[in-house]
Amino acid sequence: MRFIPHVTVATVVEDQGRFLLVEEIAGGRAVFNQPAGHLEADESLIEAALRETLEETGWHVELTGVTGIYLYTAPSNGITYQRVCFAAKPLRHDPELELDDGIIGPRWMSRDELAADPQRWRSELVLRCVDDYLAGECFPLALIRQG
């Protein structure tokens, strides 16, 4: 069997103690995730993070660092994902932007609100990325090399 990990990006966006999350339909239920998605052909990781955040939330953000790189195998389908998680600050919201299919909408939540509802997480990486961000885990964007 050939092993092919899926490269994804995610963005932890914090504003005054609240985090920008995406409420979306996955597996037939409404769940919370960071703005996140798959890397596309001919796209840098940074470009992917900015694009996914905008497409899923309508928010333009400025990336400020790398929170972590995670390897996760989803128990639901056995697929392994390599997630590169960025930290970002919000710049402006475009409420008229049409969001990706399956997206219910952006939600701002505190860490405690998110932690209180684990059955609504897309995966355990949702809280882990927030906790790593809050612990000060932030590496320079220069960590990401293109080419």
Give per-residue pLDDT as tens, 39-63: 999 999 999 999 999 999 999 999 9
Structure tokens at 71: 């390897």
Q: Strand (E) positions, 3-79? A: 6-15, 18-26, 29-33, 36-38, 59-73
Q: Are 71 and 62 in contact (CB under 8 A)?
A: no
Q: What is the average per-residue pLDDT within 84-104?
A: 96
* pLDDT class of 3 with cuts at 50, 70, 90: confident
- Please state which of the four CATH numbers 1.10.3720.10, 3.40.50.1100, 3.90.79.10, 3.40.50.920 is assigned to the domain occupying 6-137: 3.90.79.10
Show Cβ contacts of residue 56 under 8 Å, excluding neighbours closer than 6 positions: 22, 24, 35, 36, 37, 99, 100, 103, 106
pTM, whole model, 2 decimals? Answer: 0.94
Q: What are the boundaries of each domain within the chain?
A: 6-137
Backbone angles phi, psi at 44, to 5 degrees: -80, 165
